[in-house]
Amino acid sequence: MITLDYQNLFKVNALHGLDQKIFDVPASKIQDLLKKIESRGQGFYKILDDSETLLKINDYANTVKGKYKHMVVLGIGGSTLGITTLQKSLTHEFKNNIYILDNIDPDYMREVEDVIDLKETLFIVISKSGGTVETLSQYFYFRKKIEALNLEQKNHFVFVTDPAKGLLREIANTEGVKSFKIPENVGGRFSVLTPVGMLPAKLIGLQINDLIEGAKLARDNFYNPDASVNIAWQLAKIQFEMYQKGKFLNIMMPYSSKLKTFTEWYAQLLAESIGKDGIGITPVSAHGVTDQHSQNQLYHDGPNDKLIIFIELENFKTKLEIPNLYPEHAAVDYLRDTTFNELMCLEKLGTETSLTERDRPNITIKLPNLTEKSLGEFFFILESSIAFLGEMFKVNAYDQPGVELSKQLTKQYYERKA
């Protein structure tokens, strides 16, 4: 089970820390927030019961098994951040056959094209709206390449899109391209546990049932109105109270290279959900121990306007010893019978202790391990904490009017050009 350690908040001085009393909240208050969340009609917590879609994904994965050497995901934003996180966290960084195009950078696109064999590639096109210009442009580009080789689009493309609306849905219906549905009431940044994340995850060999199982565990906790146990509520409450004390930045800092992308997924979730009506928390991505040698100076001695959210991995898959080749030398004589695991752990302890002593508020989310189950649990804890946070700030966490406006303006610039 994932746990949240917020003891350091009580150790920093009253100006920058919190009092234990903030958690003395009656169950009725949390129930009220849950009712408000329910009234938004969002599906991110209901989709976990959709076992039929998981079966369809499994069936599809069986039909394409062994058919393709490469997979390329086409999409952007909430459509690709989830699968990028799953791929980076749970698969071998340097041995994989999936490329995720989360941008329209022509150099990057060409580099992907250089290493794939189009004849042996499956393109997974993901877009909730089915009309995002970046995703459609990527799709048009690769579809033309496929057709130039006299290959059939339906043998090389699969779509994940809205059940009824948008160009991709239209193409799927009229041109017979296999497709999966994103439930109408689930937005991009809340969609990792729908086919948006689950289809590509299954195709790269991940245990999608375990991801959902972990998420369900977190959902039980989300429904629990007891302030002393509901982690999603506790996290939201801390972020909200810290904001009142001028902590407008949240640094997410996993002590794990594999979780680096997780912070990007969370950055979108936090920024796009809460950043509206003049309110918002600015997400910052960092990772330990690397950023101890980069950003930590600022966290320690810069403006005290940050809440630092450490993520601790309690068990790495690998235990690696550090052989001390110079045990008598003063520079390294303390490195005795140790491992990289222990060094990582002690460095994190040193960093959080020094920050706490400088009255820099920080908390730690502890993950037992990096598995599908704990990642599913983690995704859901953060999605549901954003749902609570939206209600605390009284903003609609599920729209993104600013993003929409920029999309419309790009279209207008093209129209003016014509």
Nearer to ligand PA5, 2 or 199 (CB): 199
Whether the link from the prior residue into 289 is cis, omega within 30° of 0, is yes
Nearer to ligand PA5, 164 or 332 (CB): 164
In this structure, are residues 323 and 382 in contact, taking their beta carbons and an 8 Å threshold? no
Nearer to ligand PA5, 272 or 312 (CB): 272
Q: Does 183 bind ligand PA5 (CB under 6 A)?
A: no
Q: How far is the CB of 273 from ligand PA5 (least distance, A)?
A: 8
Q: Which of 50, 272, 352, 391 binds ligand PA5 (CB under 6 A)?
A: 272
Residue closest to ligand PA5 (Cβ): 188
In this structure, are residues 373 and 213 in contact, taking their beta carbons and an 8 Å threshold? yes
Cα 395 from chain centre: 21
Nearer to ligand PA5, 197 or 361 (CB): 197
Is 293 noted as a catalytic residue in this protein?
Answer: yes
What is the DSSP pairing of strand 321-322 with strand 338-339?
antiparallel
Is 377 noted as a catalytic residue in this protein?
Answer: no
Please give the structure tokens belonging to residue 301.
């001695």
Nearer to ligand PA5, 79 or 234 (CB): 79
Catalytically annotated residue among 65, 95, 293, 317: 293
Stretch that binds ligand PA5, among 35-43, 100-108, 128-136, 301-309 (CB under 6 A): 128-136
Stretch that binds ligand PA5, among 127-135, 318-326, 343-351, 353-361 (CB under 6 A): 127-135
Is 407 noted as a catalytic residue in this protein?
Answer: yes
Distance CA 292, CA 134 (A): 36
Q: Which of 240, 248, 264 is nearest to 100 (CA)?
A: 264
Q: Does 189 bind ligand PA5 (CB under 6 A)?
A: yes
Q: State how far the alpha carbon of 261 is from the alpha carbons of 202, 203, 266, 282, in Å.
A: 19, 20, 9, 17
Q: Does 164 bind ligand PA5 (CB under 6 A)?
A: no
Q: Which of 324, 350, 326 is nearest to 336 (CA)?
A: 324
Q: Which of 17, 77, 361, 376 binds ligand PA5 (CB under 6 A)?
A: 77
Q: How far is the CB of 261 from ligand PA5 (least distance, A)?
A: 15
In this structure, are residues 373 and 209 in contact, taking their beta carbons and an 8 Å threshold? no
Q: Which of 42, 129, 179, 194 binds ligand PA5 (CB under 6 A)?
A: 129
Tell me whether residue 14 is exposed, middle or buried, using C-beta atoms within 10 angstroms of its C-beta: 0 to 12, 13 to 18, 19 or more. exposed
Q: Which of 128, 202, 216, 360 binds ligand PA5 (CB under 6 A)?
A: 128
What is the DSSP pairing of strand 306-313 with strand 157-161?
unpaired
Cα 180 from chain centre: 21
Q: How far is the CB of 406 from ligand PA5 (least distance, A)?
A: 10
Nearer to ligand PA5, 268 or 338 (CB): 268
- What residues from 342 to 371 belong to the interface with ligand PA5 (CB under 6 A)? none
Rounded to 5°, the CA angle 411-416-418 comes to: 100
Q: State how far the alpha carbon of 251 is from the alpha carbons of 205, 236, 296, 361, 380, in Å.
A: 31, 14, 11, 11, 19
Q: Which of 84, 85, 97, 132 binds ligand PA5 (CB under 6 A)?
A: 132
Active site residues: 272, 293, 407
Interacting residues with ligand PA5 (CB under 6 A): 76-79, 127-129, 132, 135, 187-189, 272, 400, 403
